């Protein structure tokens, strides 16, 4: 993790940013906290806490240190609870400074559209530029958030994977037929909004994006840059 932090720091230093330089300084803390957590209990305990949107005290302290350096971590399935947490952190950093960049670090397989678009709209409404960095993966809605970052400051790690596809939509089988038709219309609206968001961020024609999203479209780091979802792959 220290090697990744140093690589990310060099990328941001080259672009004039300061946030990932701070990430490099925190690298040793990440390792120390991770080792301490592993020594105190089984992984299942921490997984259960994560599912309840809670975190061990060590992780909470680490998140606070990242937040103090204007870094926000999105590392889970996006639902309303997680989206509210991310939005609150972004607004908090906006109140602290409307000019200094915020770094949104992403490792997520996507999630709910409405929650994701709450984060997306917040990123777009902030005065402070939001830089994005994908570590691991950015799939579905998480790929939209990666692409929504400040142009020129959307990074994807060399081994990361990015995936876009048609948004999925399920309808409860117990609903009335009239409600099903309403949900069908809403699903179409959501798909159009999803497609337009990617097309706008990537500066590609909507039809071209729709074709690319017909099936799960996985991309390596450089492919994501070529598509327009990111700007740089740090060496």
Spot the catalytic one: 131, 140, 153, 159. 140
Task: Give the integer Cα–Cα distance in Å for 108 and 131.
Answer: 16
> Could you confirm whether 92 is annotated as catalytic?
no
Length of the chain, in residues: 235
Task: Give the integer Cα–Cα distance in Å for 63 and 121.
Answer: 23
- If you write DSSP's letter for every residue of 99-147 in order, what string do you get? SS-EEEEEEE--B-HHHHHHHHHHHHH-SS-EEEEEEEEEETHHHHHHH
Spot the catalytic one: 39, 131, 159, 165. 165
Contact 102, 126 (CB under 8 A): yes
> Could you confirm whether 165 is annotated as catalytic?
yes
The closest alpha carbon to 19, from 125, 133, 115, 174, belongs to: 133
Q: Rounded to 5 degrees, what are φ and ψ at 172?
A: -60, 125
Query: Which residues carry out catalysis?
Result: 140, 165
């Amino acid at each position: 993790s220290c090697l990744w932090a140093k690589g990310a720091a060099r990328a941001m230093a080259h672009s004039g940013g300061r946030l990932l330089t701070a990430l490099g300084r925190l690298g040793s803390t990440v390792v120390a906290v991770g080792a301490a957590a592993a020594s105190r209990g089984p992984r299942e305990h921490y997984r259960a806490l994560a599912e309840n949107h809670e975190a061990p005290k060590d992780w909470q302290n680490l998140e606070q240190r990242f937040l103090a350096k204007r870094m926000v971590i999105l590392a889970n399935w996006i639902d309303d609870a997680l989206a509210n947490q991310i939005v609150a952190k972004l607004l908090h950093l906006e109140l602290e400074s409307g000019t200094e960049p915020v770094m949104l670090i992403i490792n997520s397989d996507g999630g709910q559209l409405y929650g994701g678009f709450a984060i997306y709209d917040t990123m777009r409404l902030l005065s402070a530029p939001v830089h994005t960095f994908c570590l691991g993966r950015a799939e579905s809605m998480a790929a939209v958030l990666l692409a929504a970052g400040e142009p020129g400051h959307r990074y994807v790690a060399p081994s990361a994977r990015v995936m876009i596809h048609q948004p999925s939509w399920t309808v409860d089988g117990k609903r009335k037929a009239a409600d099903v038709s309403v949900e069908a219309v809403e699903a179409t609206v959501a798909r159009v909004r999803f497609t337009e968001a990617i097309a706008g961020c990537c500066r590609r024609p909507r039809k071209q994006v729709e074709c690319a999203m017909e099936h799960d479209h996985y991309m390596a780091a450089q492919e994501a840059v070529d598509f327009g979802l990111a700007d740089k792959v740090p060496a």
